[in-house]
Amino acid sequence: MEIHRLPARSDNYIFVLRDPNSATAAVVDPADAPPVLNKLRELNAQLVAIFNTHHHNDHVGGNRALLKQFPSAQVYGSKQDDGRIPGQQHYLKDGDKVTFANRTAQVLFVPGHTRGHIAYYFAPSAANEPGELFCGDALFAGGCGRLFEGTPAQMQPSLAKLRSLPDNTRVWCAHEYTLSNLKFAASIDQGNDALRSRLTQVIQQRNQNQPTIPSLLKEEKSTNPFLRWDTPSLQTLAKSQDPITVFGHIRAMKDRA
């Protein structure tokens, strides 16, 4: 399964998945249709599936136009988003499976950013290959999504579910927010050498207009404060050892930053 990262809007990423054995393609969170259609023409691929993580327009805005060009394409989304995702035909819940390119993805229900948010996790196809996590706006490189429809009590367990995936999982999140996320992270986790090193690298990447996505989940576990609620210095900052309280405190700080 090939993964093609397409920039869209001001800071979105759309992901086109291609099966080289069948000349078919799927797309994850098509903010807009034109970049997807251009890539499909370039790949000479037929779109067969649209995988949406949640209902926000910058993740589903291209659905209808893509369906006009590929009316048999199947649209997947959360059962909780019934009526909110254009063209939706499949209503997914935690533990469901979807398949593409002879790969099976596990559906993970990860509410918090929205009430219906899901993620798609493709386990490695071989021992020496990474897993692939398409997590929309739940988990970002160095950050996490704002709690538009959810609470810390929902979001922290959702992130714990993602954190439990293997270290060699590539994190394909839907926005290029890494630099600002890591600057905030460095301001509250000042003793973290791995974080300082990552921030230096990301500054260099962004100065050269290079993408920072995907990241590796191993790196997120060591540098992303929203996955580090059990870190003593962050517990001290939040004056609590309760994971939800620590997460909620850090999320509130980021909202004010």
Q: Which of 58, 81, 96, 189 is catalytic?
A: 58
Q: Please confirm, yes or no, whether 137 is among the known catalytic residues.
A: yes
Q: Which of 29, 32, 81, 137 is catalytic?
A: 137
Q: Which of 4, 54, 55, 90 is catalytic?
A: 54
Q: Which of 4, 59, 117, 249 is catalytic?
A: 59
For 72, which DSSP code? T
Q: Please confirm, yes or no, whether 249 is among the known catalytic residues.
A: no
Q: Which of 19, 29, 32, 56 is catalytic?
A: 56
Q: Please confirm, yes or no, whether 59 is among the known catalytic residues.
A: yes
CB atoms within 10 A of CB 138: 27
- Read out DSSP for 106-173? EEEE--SSSTT-EEEEE--SSTTS-EEEEEETTEETTEE---SS--HHHHHHHHHHHHTS-TTEEEEE
Structure tokens at 35: 């970049």
Q: What angle do CA 60, 114, 151 make, to 5 degrees?
A: 165
Q: Please confirm, yes or no, whether 54 is among the known catalytic residues.
A: yes
CB distance 138 to 149 below 8 Å: no
DSSP H helices in the chain: 34-43, 57-60, 63-69, 152-163, 178-188, 193-207, 217-223, 232-238, 243-256
Q: Which of 55, 90, 113, 249 is catalytic?
A: 113
Q: Please confirm, yes or no, whether 55 is among the known catalytic residues.
A: no
Q: Please confirm, yes or no, whether 113 is among the known catalytic residues.
A: yes
Q: Cα separations (Å) of 55 from 83, 90, 163? A: 9, 14, 23
Residues forming the active site: 54, 56, 58-59, 113, 137, 175
